[in-house]
Amino acid sequence: MERSSNRLFTTQDILGFAVLAVIIFIVLPMALDSFRLNLFGKYLTYAFVAVGLVLCWGAGGILSLGQGVFFGLGGYCMAMFLKLEASTPKNTAIQSTPGIPDFMDWNQLTALPWWWEPFNSLFFTMIAVVAVPVVFALIIGVAMFRRRVGGVYFAIITQAFAAILTILIIGQQGFTGGVNGITDLRTLHGWDIRTNDAKEVLYFVNAGLLFACLLIAQFVRKSKLGRLLIAMRDQEDRVRFSGYDVASFKIFIFCLGAAFAGIGGAMFTLQVGFMSPTLVGIVPSIEMVIFCAVGGRLSILGAVYGALLVNWAKTSLSESFPELWLLGLGGLFIAVVMVFPNGLAGVYAEHIAPRLSGLFGGKTGAAKSPKETPAE
């Protein structure tokens, strides 16, 4: 007897991945001009966070309201490298201290702080983009999960971290660029990231990385660890008394989510050309949760669609009716919780998939996921 959940990909999964790949790698690049494509590249960086949230929140029941922190840490690591490369003594000759980032000079700093030094190395930066968020998540995770803090308390504490980091970045503008963030980024190892060609290349790099993360997420969900997460969400004590160290699994999944978010942040910096505290704080962090919720908190592919759709709606609406956007977003939060707790993926599984399979007369898993209860 073959059991579907044991295989890494069911037919349906392959179909889902393929459709998304076609949309991201073929349809969008062909349909959009390079400005819009870059915009969608930016949305896709949020999808990294949303996929991490599916693992933590949807599968594991751990709601973090501080994913912006990890997104920001990854993004700032990348921005620091790019800023240092942009701040050659030649480019900054008019400063009173040439060779350091402009905002440091404006804030009367006369030397590069020691912790900026390693970011001269691209290799170090690439490691830091993942490692810094992960170490940070590890500290929070160990402290919280070892003491069995979860649920709303965890949400509030992670939100407090988002607040703390924002205040810190804004307050320490000599070291961080303050409220404006780190701007005026130019080249990556001499390659100008501001040109249309570069942006197109970065879009594909970003999409490739996103798919790598999606595959990792898929592997984790289909492994025994994925089933353990579901089990923990429903019966944490039973898992514990089946001989599992529950905390270590939560820490792992939280760190994995942080790693994804860090990569997303770094790609954001590369594609958009700046990093600022507005992407770190409470508001962006909770908006990232809504990307995940709209797509379906249990579906990693749904998270990507959620991130694309909500951000696309945000851009279109706030271009034409800025005052409507907040109302719309607020309504979305309420609707997705009260009416569609499983988001787009739920709507698809309940309404579209059965009809599709009826149309084709096949058995493309119509009876799949009858009613997975949303995490509390």
**What's the DSSP call for residue 10?**
-
Could you give the 3-state DSSP secondary structure of residue 188? strand
Q: Which of 23, 126, 163, 205 binds another protein (CB under 8 A)?
A: 163
Count of H-run helices and E-run strands, the chain: 17, 2
Q: Between 45 and 84, how does the x/- string for binding to another protein read (CB under 8 A)?
A: ------------x-----x-x-------------------
Q: How deeply is 174 buried, as exposed, middle or buried, from its count of CB atoms within 10 A (0-12, 13-18, 19+)?
A: middle
Give the footprint of another protein on residues 246-285 (CB under 8 A).
Answer: 246, 248-249, 252, 282-283
Q: In the window 95-124, what residues touch another protein (CB under 8 A)? A: none
Alpha carbon distances (Å) from 309 to 267, 295, 303, 304, 316: 19, 9, 10, 9, 10
Q: In this structure, are residues 261 and 74 in contact, taking their beta carbons and an 8 Å threshold? A: yes
The token pair that represents 128 in the structure block: 């830091």
Determine the Cα angle at 166 with ends 163 and 167, to 5°.
85
Q: Give the CA distances from residue 264 to residues 64, 203, 268, 297, 362, in Å, rounded to whole numbers and listed in that order.
A: 16, 12, 6, 19, 38
- Which CB atom, from 184 or from 372, has the smaller least distance to another protein? 372
Of 26, 111, 153, 352, the residue at the interface with another protein (CB under 8 A) is 153
Residue (32 or 157) nearer to another protein, CB: 157
Q: Is 300 in the site for another protein (CB under 8 A)?
A: no
Contact residue for another protein among 27, 241, 352, 356 (CB under 8 A): 241
Q: Are 84 and 276 in contact (CB under 8 A)?
A: no
Per CB under 8 A, 33 contacts another protein = no
Work out which of 205, 225, 313, 317 binds another protein, going by CB under 8 A. 225
The least distance separating another protein from the CB of residue 294, rounded to whole angstroms, comes to 11
Residues written for the chain? 376
Q: Which of 56, 59, 37 is nearest to 48 (CA)?
A: 56
Binder to another protein among 77, 137, 228, 267 (CB under 8 A)?
A: 228
Q: Contacting another protein (CB under 8 A), which of 55, 73, 82, 144?
A: 144
Q: Does position 8 bind another protein by CB under 8 A?
A: no
Task: Please identify, using beta-carbon distances, which residue of 273 and 296 lies nearer to another protein.
Answer: 296
> Is residue 363 involved in binding another protein (CB under 8 A)?
no
Of 8, 26, 27, 156, the residue at the interface with another protein (CB under 8 A) is: 156
Q: Residue 354 in contact with residue 366, Cβ under 8 Å?
A: yes
Binding another protein by CB under 8 A: which of 43, 81, 161, 175?
161
Tell me whether residue 41 or residue 178 sits nearer to another protein (CB atom): 178
Which of 220, 270, 304, 310 lies at the binding interface for another protein (CB under 8 A)? 220
- In sequence order, the 6+-apart residues with CB closer than 8 A to the CB of 52 are 67, 70, 213, 217, 256, 257, 258, 259, 260, 261
Does 159 bind another protein (CB under 8 A)? Our answer is: yes
Q: Using CB under 8 A, which of the segments 69-77, 78-86, 153-161, 307-315 binds another protein?
A: 153-161
- Per CB under 8 A, 5 contacts another protein: yes
Identify which range of 75-83, 99-107, 228-236, 348-356 contacts another protein by CB under 8 A: 228-236
Q: Which of residues 179-198 bind another protein (CB under 8 A)?
A: none
Contact 300, 313 (CB under 8 A): no
The H-or-E segment that residue 74 falls in is helix 67-86
